[in-house]
Amino acid sequence: MATKNIQFLKEILQKEGLRFTRQRLAVWQEIETSKKHLDADDIFISIRSKGMKVSRATVYRTIDVLLKYNLLRKLDMGDGRNRFESKIDEEHHDHMICIETGDIIEFYNSRLEKLQEKIVHEKGYELVRHVHQLFVRPIKK
């Protein structure tokens, strides 16, 4: 699986005329293999901690590339820093964010997805990506 996604990255970069570098791979793998939502600095520190050399500049530049080619999803959890997650090898999902506990609950609803497509088509567009976040609070008993 890891191998498959390395291949995936490689193909996309080649198709776009971009080079497949160790740094791009490292950034991609950090996000791919993380169970949590990382921000740019988390990624930078994690790569460094594994003994590999990378710069913050490259992390940011790589994130831009991955975002552009839709390998990543950018998340704004409302705490001021952008976090990222892989869009590959997982079901698509959106997020509920609990404003009291900070918990993040992933959800998926097919009716919702279809409805979005419909709304977009009616206006003469096609859907490229979307951001859908529900900020919630536990129901008090």
Partner DNA sequence: GTTGTTGCAAATACTTTGCAACTAT
Partner DNA sequence: ATAGTTGCAAAGTATTTGCAACAAC
- Residue 5 near residue 32, CB atoms below 8 Å: yes
Q: Which of 45, 69, 82, 98 is close enough to bind DNA by CB under 7 A?
A: 82
Reference 33, options 68, 9, 60; nearest CA is 9
The binding site for a second copy (CB under 8 A) comprises 74, 76, 78, 96, 98-99, 105, 107, 109, 111-112, 115-116, 119-121, 123-139
Site string for DNA, 18-57 (x = CB under 7 A): xxxxxxx--------------xxx-----------xxxxx
Give DSSP secondary structure letters for 36-100: S-EEHHHHHHHHHHTT----HHHHHHHHHHHHHTTSEEEEE-SSS-EEEEE-SSS---EEEEETT
> Does 75 interact with DNA (rule: CB under 7 A)?
no
- Which of residues 49 and 101 has its CB atom nearest to a second copy in the complex? 101
Give how far Cα 96 sits from Cα of 16, 84, 129, Å.
34, 15, 18
Beta carbon of residue 26, minimum distance to DNA (angstroms, whole number): 9
Residues in touch with DNA (CB under 7 A): 13-14, 17-24, 39-41, 53-58, 60-62, 64, 80-82
